[in-house]
Amino acid sequence: MSVEFDFLTPTDKPALLGLSTPELQDTAKTALDQLGYKIHTAVNHGEFLHKFTQVSYHVVILEEMFSASTPQAFQQGVHAVVNPSEMFLLIQLVQKAVADNDLFLHAFRDAQKRLA
């Protein structure tokens, strides 16, 4: 499987999308673009896993039933759940999830910096 990646700089904020409909993808791309993320998309589960293991993504948006017959997102451990009917709030929801995650990991990251 040959997958092309954009070059990422240290200041880039990469995001990965695993969404099954063009409408959901467009909504998510618009929101993440406004927040300054560099967006990668996956068309199937295999491509999603390949990309996910190659880049340390800041944000990953994965549809519960993306490219599968059984739910997967909850099995992977998620930070936030967005109902498709609330996609219009995606900017605010991503900002809150990122802020909550940063607050949760603050002590760990601080300790990591002191050890380095």
Where in the chain does DSSP place strands (E)?
14-18, 38-41, 59-62
Which DSSP letter does residue 89 get? G
Q: What is the pLDDT of residues 46-82, one digit of tens each?
A: 898 899 899 889 898 888 777 666 666 556 566 677 7
CA dist., res. 69 & res. 5, Å (int): 28
pLDDT recorded at residue 15: 93
Q: What is the pTM of this model?
A: 0.73
Domains of the chain: 14-115 (3.40.50)
Half-sphere exposure of 39 (CA within 13 A, CB side): 18
- Res. 29: pLDDT tops 90: yes
In 3-state terms, what secondary structure has residue 45?
A: helix
